[in-house]
């Protein structure tokens, strides 16, 4: 049997899906009824059966997915992946046109683009102007010749760079999922075995991991495999790269260059192609910028690495100041950040693009952490002489967000679980932090890659995975790395179902026990025995629930009772004590918290001075905080926190945080308020508290 266009679209969507495909999503995409979706799913299952492939799998009514076997085999069986009633946005069309221009050696004309994107000639003409602009940014030009059609002119290095950017967007941006339906046909370019090349390409990359002494993320391996397919095509078309001599010299001294040589050797053997030093250098650049799960490389490194470690230390210092937190396991945090920032450094240095599909989720769910991270990363931006793009910032924010959620877990009562994540250290850590906070009575034994999970046995009761995963005995839930409120509720409902099911399977029947006891002894009170057995085997109600709370805003913390004016104080210690008095009076803090704030400055220096004239004294929550609070002291005369001019303070805001997160919204609002010079002048000139209260209210939203 053959599939119609709509069923083909749905099947290719299942092939390319990285998470469960829901009926509602298909209805929205295709504008069809639920009955029609189920009809199409059955039609696809019949086709899969006919081709001796596993049918579509379902996860407890939450969505559908294909087995790995089906995902790998289906594209080989389908002669053409067809589009069906999907309307591309302009950014998607630009990416699609860009990929086609840079992967096709045949003449391409306006009509080709119109058919590919399903839009009018006028719309394609406008899109081509934007494509031309993007190409110009990489010193490339878009030319048109009547016989040859549209052609991209310029250095091969620049063509590879912009193509890498386009491919990165297609492969990793969730909003472009449908576009992957066309990726493999575009890359074929006359080579019908393109898709089958991906499997050996992935193995070639994994063979190089021992040389790198790292484990690359599953996502990275997939993207690198596509990059190697592109490299293969470019070389077959006699498109060779020439690197800048200085860049080539720099990459040749790295461990990644040795791994790239190993990859090149395998490519030469398998595909009968000879790779130059420049081509090996190009592969090296991508390896240097690759995200990893872990590294076996010790702390001793190159001069470049040592500089980067100092930058990491500065970034953590800045984050602690802006977030008013003190990380307990700082060394571990710095090591994790270094492992992430090292490939970030090389991506920026060699212009290797990366697309973070979680950027918008991070901005939405962790706006305060993202904002603080953006302020804290100036040391790496100074080192690189360029701003970090939001996609890179979001990855760093995920690291900080995960670390801020680290807490000691209570006694375990609901079993063990493990997290399977294909997306690297930062993503898996932030998911772990969210799950630890949500499932306080579940022990998370660790985070592993998909490869690690499939190759080993783990003593757990259930599994959380960031992509669809099958297991013969363990229940698996597919989750988004950034949990929304809806996502958290889905997890809790699933956990309750799993708990109930496992309990029903494991609990013995009290009636059976009573009958066995009768055979071997005398029961004096059978009714009471049955009641007690029933109580014993009845599960206690679970305490799984979402802790719902609103983070206080700035005007919840700074108000009439917590704002003070004073002429001066004898020294900075007295200033901290005076500033903290409103919180002490209302028992939001204890006197030990004031002592801890003073000791921190004595031990660590005037780190609480966040800007000229402004200090935010604080200590750890466990050192005497009862409830979250903030108090403000405005002095007429400056008090010195050191002999330096920048440490002369007129404004003190004491922060009492109960954890690493609750205070962040108010702190972000305070930072925004203090960033405006005219606001500071207003605070310094204020004669009544009401003037400051009005200003605070303006920023509390």
pLDDT in tens, 216-259: 888 788 888 888 888 887 887 788 888 888 888 888 888 899 99
Q: How far apart are CA 576 and CA 584, in angstroms?
A: 12
Q: Is 618 considered catalytic here?
A: yes
Of the options 1.10.10.10, 3.30.1330.10, 3.30.420.10, 3.40.50.2300, the CATH number for the domain spanning 415-501: 3.40.50.2300
Query: What residues does each domain of the chain span?
Result: 5-81, 88-186, 189-297, 303-405, 415-501, 506-546, 554-699
Percent of the chain with pLDDT over 70: 85
Counting Cα atoms < 13 Å in the Cβ hemisphere of 15 gives 27
Helix 110-117 and helix 90-103: axis angle, to 10°? Answer: 130
DSSP for residue 81:
-
Length of the chain: 701
* Residue 326 pLDDT grade (very low, low, confident, very high; cuts 50, 70, 90): confident
533 vs 55, residue with greater confidence? 55
pLDDT at 150 over 60: yes
390 vs 522, residue with greater confidence? 390
Quote the pLDDT of residue 178: 46
First-residue to last-residue Cα distance in the chain: 59
Quote the pLDDT of residue 383: 92
Q: What is the mean pLDDT of residues 340-364?
A: 84
pLDDT at 542 over 50: no
Q: What is the mean pLDDT of residues 519-546?
A: 65
pLDDT at 79 over 70: no
DSSP for residue 448:
E
Quote the pLDDT of residue 192: 45
pLDDT at 407 over 60: no
pLDDT at 633 over 90: yes
**Domain 5-81, what fold?**
Arc Repressor Mutant, subunit A (1.10.10)
What is the architecture of the domain spanning 189-297? Orthogonal Bundle (1.10)
Q: Answer yes or no: same fold for 88-186 and 554-699.
A: no
Counting Cα atoms < 13 Å in the Cβ hemisphere of 125 gives 3
- Distant-in-sequence, close-in-space partners of 690: CB < 8 Å, separation ≥ 6: none
Quote the pLDDT of residue 21: 86
Q: What is the mean pLDDT of residues 90-106?
A: 82
89-98, 236-245, 272-281, 420-429 — which is least confidently predicted? 420-429
Q: Report residue 536 as tokens.
A: 């014993």
Quote the pLDDT of residue 231: 82
Quote the pLDDT of residue 168: 76
Q: What is the mean pLDDT of residues 141-161?
A: 88
Superfamily of domain 303-405 in CATH is PRD domain (1.10.1790.10)
Quote the pLDDT of residue 185: 52
Quote the pLDDT of residue 180: 47
32-36, 97-101, 151-155 — which is least confidently predicted? 32-36
Single out the catalytic residue among 286, 399, 618, 663.
618
* Residue 660 pLDDT grade (very low, low, confident, very high; cuts 50, 70, 90): confident
The CATH code of domain 88-186 reads 1.10.10.10
Quote the pLDDT of residue 541: 46
- CATH class of the structural domain 554-699: alpha beta
Q: How far apart are CA 631 and CA 578, in angstroms?
A: 10
Q: Report residue 672 as tokens.
A: 């925004």
Quote the pLDDT of residue 556: 94
454 vs 632, residue with greater confidence? 632
Q: What is the mean pLDDT of residues 12-40?
A: 76
Quote the pLDDT of residue 61: 65
50-59, 109-118, 200-209, 486-495 — which is least confidently predicted? 486-495
- Distant-in-sequence, close-in-space partners of 288: CB < 8 Å, separation ≥ 6: 251, 254, 256, 343, 346, 347, 350, 352
pLDDT at 450 over 80: yes
53 vs 545, residue with greater confidence? 53
22-26, 57-61, 301-305 — which is least confidently predicted? 301-305
Counting Cα atoms < 13 Å in the Cβ hemisphere of 12 gives 27
* Residue 85 pLDDT grade (very low, low, confident, very high; cuts 50, 70, 90): very low
The per-residue pLDDT of the chain, averaged, comes to 82
pLDDT at 574 over 70: yes
Strand partners, 656: 629
Q: What is the mean pLDDT of residues 329-341?
A: 87
270 vs 656, residue with greater confidence? 656
Q: Report residue 33 as tokens.
A: 């009824």
Counting Cα atoms < 13 Å in the Cβ hemisphere of 333 gives 25
* Residue 314 pLDDT grade (very low, low, confident, very high; cuts 50, 70, 90): very high
């Amino acid at each position: 049997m053959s599939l119609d266009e709509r069923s083909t679209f749905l099947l290719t969507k299942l092939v390319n899906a990285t998470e469960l495909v829901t009926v509602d999503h298909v209805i929205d995409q295709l504008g069809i009824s639920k009955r029609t979706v189920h009809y199409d799913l059955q039609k696809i299952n019949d086709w899969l059966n006919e081709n001796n492939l596993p049918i579509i799998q379902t996860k407890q009514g939450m969505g559908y997915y294909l087995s790995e076997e089906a995902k790998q085999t289906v594209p080989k069986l389908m002669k053409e992946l067809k589009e069906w009633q999907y309307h591309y946005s302009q950014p998607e069309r630009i990416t699609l046109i860009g990929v086609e221009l840079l992967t096709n050696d045949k003449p391409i004309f306006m009509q080709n683009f119109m058919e590919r994107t399903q839009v009018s000639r006028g719309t394609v003409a406008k899109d081509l102007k934007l494509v031309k602009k993007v190409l110009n940014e990489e010193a490339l030009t878009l030319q048109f010749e009547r016989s040859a059609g549209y052609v991209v002119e310029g250095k091969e290095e620049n063509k590879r760079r912009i193509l890498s950017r386009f491919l990165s967007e297609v492969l990793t941006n969730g909003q472009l999922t449908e576009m992957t339906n066309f990726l493999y046909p575009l890359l074929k370019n006359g080579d019908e075995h393109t898709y089958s090349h991906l499997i050996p390409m992935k193995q070639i990359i994994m063979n190089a991991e021992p040389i790198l002494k790292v484990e690359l993320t599953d996502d990275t391996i997939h993207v690198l495999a596509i990059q190697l397919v592109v490299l293969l095509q470019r070389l077959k078309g006699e498109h060779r790269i020439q690197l800048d001599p200085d860049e080539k010299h720099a990459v040749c001294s790295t461990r990644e260059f040795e791994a790239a040589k190993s990859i090149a050797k395998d490519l030469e053997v398998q595909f009968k192609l000879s790779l130059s030093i420049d081509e090996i250098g190009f592969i090296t650049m991508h390896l240097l910028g690759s995200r990893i799960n872990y590294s076996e490389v010790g702390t001793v490194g190159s001069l470049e690495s040592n500089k980067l470690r100092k930058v990491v230390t500065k970034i953590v210092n800045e984050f602690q100041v802006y977030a008013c937190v003190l990380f307990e396991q700082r060394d571990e945090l710095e090591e994790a950040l270094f492992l992430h920032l090292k490939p970030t450094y090389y991506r920026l240095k060699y212009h290797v693009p990366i697309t973070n599909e979680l950027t918008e989720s991070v901005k939405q769910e962790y706006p305060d952490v993202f904002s603080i991270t953006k302020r804290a990363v100036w040391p790496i931006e100074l080192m690189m002489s360029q701003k970090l793009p939001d996609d890179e910032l979001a990855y760093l924010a995920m690291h900080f967000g995960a670390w801020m959620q680290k807490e000691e877990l209570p006694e375990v009562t609901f079993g063990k679980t493990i997290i399977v994540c294909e997306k690297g250290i930062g993503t898996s850590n932030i998911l772990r932090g969210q799950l630890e906070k949500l499932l306080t009575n579940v022990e998370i034994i660790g985070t592993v890659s998909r490869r690690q999970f499939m190759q080993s046995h783990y003593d757990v009761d259930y599994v959380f995975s960031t992509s669809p995963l099958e297991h013969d005995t363990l229940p698996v839930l597919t989750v988004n790395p950034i949990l929304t409120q809806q996502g958290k509720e889905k997890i809790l409902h699933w956990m309750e179902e799993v708990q109930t099911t496992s309990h029903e399977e494991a609990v013995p029947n009290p009636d059976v026990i009573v009958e066995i006891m009768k055979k071997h002894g005398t029961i004096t009170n059978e009714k009471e025995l049955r009641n007690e057995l029933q109580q014993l085997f009845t599960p206690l109600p679970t305490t799984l629930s979402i802790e719902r709370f609103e983070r206080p805003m700035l005007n919840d913390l700074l108000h009439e009772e917590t704002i003070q004016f004073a002429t001066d104080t004898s020294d900075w210690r007295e200033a901290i004590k005076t500033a903290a008095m409103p919180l002490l009076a209302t028992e939001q803090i204890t006197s030990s918290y004031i002592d801890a704030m003073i000791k921190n400055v004595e031990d660590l220096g005037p780190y609480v001075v966040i800007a000229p004239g402004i200090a935010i004294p604080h200590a750890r929550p466990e050192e005497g905080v009862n409830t979250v609070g903030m108090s403000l002291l405005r002095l007429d005369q400056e008090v010195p926190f050191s002999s330096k001019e920048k440490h002369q303070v007129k404004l003190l805001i004491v922060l009492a945080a109960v954890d690493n997160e609750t205070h962040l919204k108010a702190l972000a609002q305070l930072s925004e308020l203090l960033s405006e010079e005219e606001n500071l002048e207003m605070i310094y000139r204020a004669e009544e508290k009401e003037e400051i209260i009005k200003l605070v209210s303006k920023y509390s939203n």
